[in-house]
Amino acid sequence: MSDADTASPPLTAAALATRAAIVATAERLFRTMGYQKTTVADIARELKMSPANIYRFFPSKSAINEAICGGILVEFDAAVWAIARGPEAPAERIRAVFRLLQEQTIALFFHERRMHDMVAAALEEHWPVIDQHVHTIDAAFGHIVADGQAQGVFAPLDAEMTGRLLHLTCVMFTHPTLVEQCQDTKDLPLMAHAMAEFCLRALRPDAPAA
């Protein structure tokens, strides 16, 4: 659910169901017809309701898209956090998150080209769902760093800041615009792997003073 919802009064069960139906129908149309070509009237027709009824729930097509992207990103975030909280050694978790971020981005943006346009629109419009996603991944990395520090395998750096930095080193294989501009996406798995190993070197504890 998007940040914007927190300002509205709570919805009844029936209203929530309608809202979910609008989101599900819009997502199907965006994926098949494309985001730009789908109108609110198209969505209303599919749902056998009036456009005015849709506008009771969402002020614009862009707001529907925000709800859809928010849902996708929440799933994405949950997969990253499942790794971050997992039983593997902290270094393995860092490697796994790098791999997941890289693979999911390619899957999302290349195999589902229309989805790419939706998320790219989200980035250009600075939606709260995007900020929330970025902070959630920063925090997942920070969590692994803190765990590694507790186990004595990572250096005692600022865990929160280090989480942000780790996430920033992934930008070239997670940001839709950069992935789109990348001319050799088959290099991305190798680069993600190399970057993870490079970052793990930075996390090594300092040698004890002689």
For binding to a copy of itself (CB under 8 A), which residues are involved?
123-124, 126, 131, 155, 157, 161-162, 164-165, 168-169, 171-172, 175, 177-178, 181, 183, 191, 194-195, 198-199, 201-204, 207
Instruction: Output the smallest distance, CB 25 to a copy of itself, in A.
Output: 30
Instruction: Output the smallest distance, CB 4 to a copy of itself, in A.
Output: 17
Of the two residues 47 and 155, which places its CB atom closer to a copy of itself in the complex?
A: 155
Instruction: Output the smallest distance, CB 165 to a copy of itself, in A.
Output: 5
Listing DSSP states for the chain in one string gives --GGGGGSPPPPHHHHHHHHHHHHHHHHHHHHH-TTT--HHHHHHHTTS-HHHHHHH-SSHHHHHHHHHHHHHHHHHHHHHHHHTSSS-HHHHHHHHHHHHHHHHHIIIIITHHHHHHHHHHHHTT-HHHHHHHHHHHHHHHHHHHHHHHTT-S----HHHHHHHHHHTTHHHH-HHHHHH-S-GGGHHHHHHHHHHHHHHHHSPPPPP-
Of the two residues 15 and 202, which places its CB atom closer to a copy of itself in the complex?
A: 202
Of the two residues 55 and 110, which places its CB atom closer to a copy of itself in the complex?
A: 110
Instruction: Output the smallest distance, CB 172 to a copy of itself, in A.
Output: 5
Instruction: Output the smallest distance, CB 161 to a copy of itself, in A.
Output: 6
Of the two residues 5 and 197, which places its CB atom closer to a copy of itself in the complex?
A: 197
- How far is Cα 163 from Cα 146, in angstroms, rounded to an integer? 9
Give the angle 124-79-140 at the CA atoms, nearest 5°.
75
Instruction: Output the smallest distance, CB 58 to a copy of itself, in A.
Output: 24
Of the two residues 89 and 161, which places its CB atom closer to a copy of itself in the complex?
A: 161
- How far is Cα 85 from Cα 78, in angstroms, rounded to an integer? 10
Of the two residues 37 and 204, which places its CB atom closer to a copy of itself in the complex?
A: 204
